[in-house]
Amino acid sequence: MLVNWKKPLSVYWLIFVPIISLYIFSERNSILLKAETEDATLNFWDVILVSVNDLYLIVYLMFPIFLLKTGHQLANSFEYTQLVRWGSYKRWIIQNLKVFSLFNVCLLLLWNLCSLVVSFGLPFTLQWSEFGQLNLDGNEILYTLSSNFSQPLYALILQFLLFFLAMHTIQLVLSILYVLTKSKRAIYTCLSFLYVMSILSFKVIPVTYKWLLLPNYLSLFHGVESFSSTWASFLVLILLLGIALISLQFIGRDFRLLKENFIEVAPIGIFIGLILLGIVFQAMKYSDANLTAMDLWLLAFFGTTHEAFQILSLSFYVIVFIGFVYFVQLFLQKQLMELSHYSIIRYESLVKWFWGWFSAILRNTIVFLLLLTVSTLIISVGFGFSLSLNSRLLPDVSAFIFSYQFFINGFLQITFYVLLIVLISWITKDVLKSFVTLLIFIVFMFPGINFDYLIPIGLNSMGQLFINPTPYTHSIVLVISVLAELTILVYLLRRKDFIL
């Protein structure tokens, strides 16, 4: 029998239909009894949504079925003749994922079909029933879903997608693991661990560890209930799936070359990790303070002011913005090393040579600021912050001012930093000296040193909104400073006699 299970559409899977249907039928009777007790009307959505979100059915039957299929498929489909046919490990994994996808869709449709058949005889409507909107003990699934979705169909579609995404992510990760280890024991160990974790998450692990609870990624109801957000579970799974897909690109490659590439990209990975860790730290710190995403944006990139100075806020500012300039400095070092007569001939002048790569830095700066904003938004959703455009810490400051301070002043501030290291590097012919000089300038972010904020250092700190809710004066200082740097730099480039 097990050999036939390699086929996604094998009839052997139909043996689970009566088991699933009997359990759903018992759920239907329970719902009917509760609705009769409360004298409330119900419809077929009540049975369907409860059955596809019920953790007993998920943890003790449906999830193990998917794990069983995953383990059997991986353990029995890997043959070197098949590997020759597909040409690479990567293509073998992709082929397996196609089989898994078909199986996942078919079994999910079978599960939903059983729910639909059992619900026959109940009123058909596209709206929530009276019973589904009652806040009662034992009716948490329907009440939570009806409170978060305007129509039950949306909840059913998202539950289908969530479970499919969770299984697809697990199957991809296990496929990569099997290719790396070639060990059935490793796969079976991971599958057993996942099954035990699903039970422990259901019964033992405290709800405070919501990011580690498997049910939050298998049941839409539990995800919404734990994260106080519809999309947090999806975002976590998409992030994990994205990491797995990126890892898939390296399967089968020369590991010595991968090691060299890893050494090159490791600093960027550490930089991104520190930024995300800093935002998450602020989110965890204020997760119970009933704040909005705008407040997290404000607190994460607070920076410093004369009135409010914290070494952690200053350190995070340096990591984020000076860290970005550090990578620009590495890029600048490469540009200066490659400068030659050929570069001058190609660009016709040093000014055009400068603008050729400086414009790319400006574009990357915009992308960097956008990614910071998106990351903050995603993390705020995951930690249950309200998505309101209003700030509870600064209720009189509009979302436009928040955006202006972060994007406009942020862009001008980073541009000032970049031009500063370019200018010093061009004068001293030493890129390291320029970066050290920039670090020394950070002293102006300490309280009382930057009088009236006339020195263009740290003026993009979001904390500036606490003392000056109209950030346009900072923009004027930054624009004047940037123009002054550009004027001096263009003058030096034009008068410089290039000697090969």
| Torsional sign, CA 164, 166, 168, 170 | negative
Q: Say whether both 306 and 350 belong to one domain.
A: yes
Q: Say whether both 326 and 420 belong to one domain.
A: yes
Q: Say whether both 99 and 221 belong to one domain.
A: yes
Q: Say whether both 246 and 274 belong to one domain.
A: no
Residues 6+ apart with CB under 8 A from 162: 217, 218, 219, 220, 223, 233, 234, 237
Backbone angles phi, psi at 253, to 5 degrees: -85, 170
Q: Which of 297, 335, 303 is nearest to 418 (CA)?
A: 335
The pLDDT profile of the chain, 500 residues, written as one tens digit per residue, is 333 444 555 667 778 899 999 999 999 999 999 999 898 999 999 999 999 999 999 999 999 999 998 998 888 876 666 666 666 778 888 888 998 999 999 999 999 999 999 999 999 999 999 999 999 888 999 999 999 999 999 999 999 999 999 999 999 999 998 888 888 888 999 999 999 999 988 778 888 788 889 999 999 999 999 888 888 899 899 989 988 998 888 776 655 666 666 677 778 888 998 999 999 989 888 888 889 999 999 999 999 887 788 888 888 999 999 999 988 888 887 777 766 555 565 666 778 878 888 888 999 999 999 999 999 998 888 788 888 888 999 998 899 999 999 999 999 999 999 999 888 888 887 767 777 888 888 888 888 787 778 888 989 999 989 887 788 999 999 999 999 999 998 888 887 644 43
Domain boundary residue, one of 225, 253, 281? 253
DSSP 330-385: HHHHHHHHT--HHHHHHHSSHHHHHHHHHHHHHHHHHHHHHHHHHHHHHHHHHTT-
Domain boundary residue, one of 253, 277, 310? 253
- Count of domains for the chain: 2
Q: Say whether both 132 and 35 belong to one domain.
A: yes
Q: Say whether both 162 and 306 belong to one domain.
A: no
Q: Say whether both 86 and 196 belong to one domain.
A: yes
Tokens 């580690």 correspond to: 212
Find the helix or strand (DSSP H, E) in which 300 lies. Answer: helix 293-300
- The residue segments making up the domain with residue 358 are 265-497
Would you report the helix, strand and coil content of the chain in percent, each value rounded to 5? 75, 0, 25
Q: Say whether both 220 and 296 belong to one domain.
A: no
Residue 4 within any structural domain of the chain? no
Distances (CA, A) of 176 to 67, 74, 191: 16, 10, 14
SS3 of residue 292 by DSSP: strand
CB–CB of 461/302 below 8 Å? yes
Backbone angles phi, psi at 258, to 5 degrees: -65, -40
